[in-house]
Amino acid sequence: MIPVTKTYLPDINQYKDYIDKIYETGWLTNNGDLVRKLELKLKEYLGVKNIVLVSNGTVALNIAYKLLGLENEVITTPFSFVATTSSMVWQGLKPVFVDINKNDYNIDANRIEKKITEYTTGIVPVHVFGNACDVEQIEEIAKKHNLKVIYDASHCFGVKYKSKSILNYGDISTISFHSTKLFHTIEGGALIINNDELYEKAKRMINFGFCANGYIEEIGINAKMNEFQAAMGLCVLSDIDKISSRRKEKYEYYIKKLENIDLISFQELNKSSHINYSYLPIVFKDSETMLTTLKNMNNEDIFPRRYFYPSLNKLNYIHCNEVMPNSEDISERILCLPLYDSLKNMDIDKIVEIIKRSSIYSIRKSRCISMEV
Ligand SMILES: *Cc1c(COP(=O)(O)O)cnc(C)c1O
C-alpha cells in the first residue's frame, strides 16, 4: 500500500532514551525539560524569536485569534485544510472568503481590499503547500486598514522567504506538527509571535491563564504540549536534514518524469522563496481525468489525496452563497501525490505510468465525443 504520506518514525532507542528520562523524573507535562529543550532547538533551527509549543495546530489557530482579539469578520482563503476556517467559526468569527490565484493557489492579495468592511478585524492567509503568499502586499493592506494578520503556516516547516524564516511574517504565524506533516511531534503545533508582550500572554493563555507566580491574571485554556510529544519532536528534529534531502530527491525525480505530460499542471512557486517538499500537488485538465486517475491508482493500492477538497466556501455550516471560481475549480482537479522519505523510485515510476495512462484515455475519450458532435 502506498499512502499519500508516511509518518517518519525515528530510531526507537533514541526515543526510549528520552522516555527513560521522563520515567526517572516523573515529569510528564507542564512545561517540562523536553518541551523547553525543543523550544530552544526549534527557535534556532527555524530562525525565529519567540515560539510557543502547543498540543496541535488547530488549537494554535484558536489561540492566535484570541490573543489578537479578532472579532466579527475575518478575511481568509477558501483553499486550505478545513481547520483554517472551522477554527474561526468555533471562535464565533465570520470567515469572509477571498478567492485564490489560479496559478499559485494562495489568497489573491489584489482582491482583499474589496472585501474589507467596518467589521473586518483580521486577515488569515495560508501559505498553501509551503508556497509563500504575497506577504509584502498583505502587510501593506493590513497596515493601511489597521488589521491583524495571522498566517496559517502549517505547511511551512523550514521555509525561508528572502533567506529569512517565512514564520516571522504577520502578527502571528501558526504551524502544525501533526504526524502527517514534514516535522512532527505525533500531535502538536506552535505559535510564532514577534511581539514579546504578546508572547508572554500566549504562554499564560495556553496554561489556564496562570502567571509565573501562580496568580490567575486572565482567561486561558489548556493547550500544553506534553513531554512524550516533545521527545518525539527532539528525535525527528535530529534527523530533519536527512528527511528533507530525501524528500527533495523524490520530489525532483517525480517532476522530471511528470514534466513531459501535457495534461497536468503544477503550482507556480514564489520566486523569493523555496518550498520544503512536503507535498506534490498536480492539477489535471478536468475533474473527470483526476477522478479516473484516482480510481486507477486506488485499484493498485496507491492512495493520493484530494488536498484540498471541497473548497471551504462550500462547507454546509458556512452558509456562504458566493462562488469562488478559482478555488472551486482547482479543488475539483487537484491531487497530492504520495511523497515521503522512504518512497521508492520504483513506486514513483508506477504512479507516473498510471497518470500517463489515465490522461491518454481521457484525450481519446474527448476526441470521440467531439467527433460525435
Ligand atoms: C494540518 C493543518 C492544520 C491543523 O493542524 P493540526 O495539528 O492537525 O490540528 C491547520 N491548517 C492547515 C493548513 C493544515 O494543513
DSSP output for 165-206: EGGGSSSEEEEE--TTSSS--SS-EEEEESSHHHHHHHHHHT
Residue 282 belongs to a domain: yes
At 84, which helix (H) or strand (E)?
Answer: helix 82-90
The mean per-residue pLDDT over the stretch 112-134 comes to 98
Do 153 and 265 lie in one domain? The reply is: no
- State whether 171 and 93 are in the same domain: yes
Instruction: Please state the rounded mean pLDDT for residues 126-155.
Output: 98
pLDDT band at 373 (very low <50, low <70, confident <90, very high): very low
**Res. 133: pLDDT tops 60:** yes
Structural domain contains residue 154:
yes
pLDDT of residue 191: 98
Q: What is the mean pLDDT of the chain?
A: 96
Q: Are residues 269 and 221 in the same domain?
A: no
Instruction: Quote the Cα angle for 104-242-36, to 5°.
Output: 90
252 and 211 in a single domain? The answer is: no
**Ligand 1 nearest-atom number relative to CA 87:** 10
Query: Of 179, 70, 77, 91, nearest to 127 (Cα)?
Result: 77
Residue 372 has pLDDT above 90, yes or no: no
Q: From 238, 271, 302, give the residue that closes a domain.
A: 238
For 37, the grid coordinates are 529543550
Confidence band for 312, pLDDT divided at 50, 70 and 90: very high
**End residue of a domain, out of 217, 238, 259:** 238
What does the alpha-carbon distance between residue 369 and residue 364 come to, in Å, rounded to a whole number? 9
Please indicate, yes or no, whether residues 191 and 322 belong to a single structural domain of this protein: no
Are 64 and 172 in the same domain?
yes
Residue 256 has pLDDT above 80, yes or no: yes
Is it the case that residue 259 has pLDDT exceeding 50?
A: yes
With the most atoms of ligand 1 within 8 angstroms of its CB, the residue from 53, 55, 65, 81 to mutate is 81
Tell me how many domains the chain contains.
2
Q: Do 127 and 45 reside in the same domain of the chain?
A: yes
Q: What SS3 state is found at 158?
A: coil
Eight-state DSSP code of residue 153? -
pLDDT digits 0-9 by tens, 319-344? 999 999 999 999 999 999 999 999 99
Which of 238, 258, 293 is the last residue before a domain boundary?
238
Q: Whose CA is nearest to atom 6 of ligand 1?
A: 57
The protein residue whose alpha carbon is closest to atom 5 in ligand 1 is 57
Are residues 317 and 176 part of one domain? no
Q: What is the CATH number of the domain that holds 321?
A: 3.90.1150.10
Q: In what order do the strands lie in the sheet with 94-97?
A: 51-54, 189-193, 172-176, 148-152, 120-124, 73-76, 94-97
Q: Is the pLDDT of residue 177 over 70?
A: yes
The mean per-residue pLDDT over the stretch 345-357 comes to 96
pLDDT, residue 366, reads 66
Residue 283 and residue 225 share a domain = no
Pick 368 or 268 by higher pLDDT: 268
The domain that holds 55 is classified in CATH as 3.40.640.10
Q: Pick the atom of ligand 1 nearest to 60's CA.
A: 9
Mean pLDDT in residue range 267-273: 97
Q: Indicate whether 169 and 278 sit together in one domain.
A: no
Taking the centre of ligand 1 as the mean of its atom positions, its distance from the CA of residue 77, in whole angstroms, is 14
- Average the pLDDT over 15-29 and give the result: 98
Residue nearest to ligand 1 atom 7, measured at CA? 57
Nearest CA to ligand 1 atom 2: 154
Q: What is the per-residue pLDDT for 360?
A: 77
In a domain, 354, yes or no: yes
Confidence of residue 263 (pLDDT cuts 50, 70, 90): confident
Question: What is the average pLDDT across 109-120?
Answer: 98
- One domain, residues 52 and 165: yes
Single-letter amino acid, residue 341: D
- Closest listed residue to residue 276, CA positions, set 145, 138, 165: 165
Tell whether 123 is covered by a domain: yes
373 falls within a domain? no
| Domain extent at residue 299 | 240-368
Residues within 6 Å of ligand 1 by CB: 56-58, 80-81, 83-84, 126, 152, 154-155, 176, 178, 189
Share above pLDDT 70 across residues of the chain, in percent, rounded to a whole number:
97
Residue 20: CB atoms within 10 Å:
10
Pocket test for ligand 1, best of 79, 82, 84, 100 (most atoms within 8 A of CB): 84
Q: Which atom of ligand 1 is nearest to the CA of 187?
A: 7
What is the model's pLDDT at position 371? 59
pLDDT at 294: 97
pTM for the whole structure = 0.96
- Residues 214 and 271 grouped into a single domain: no
Ligand 1 centre to CA of 268 (Å) is: 22
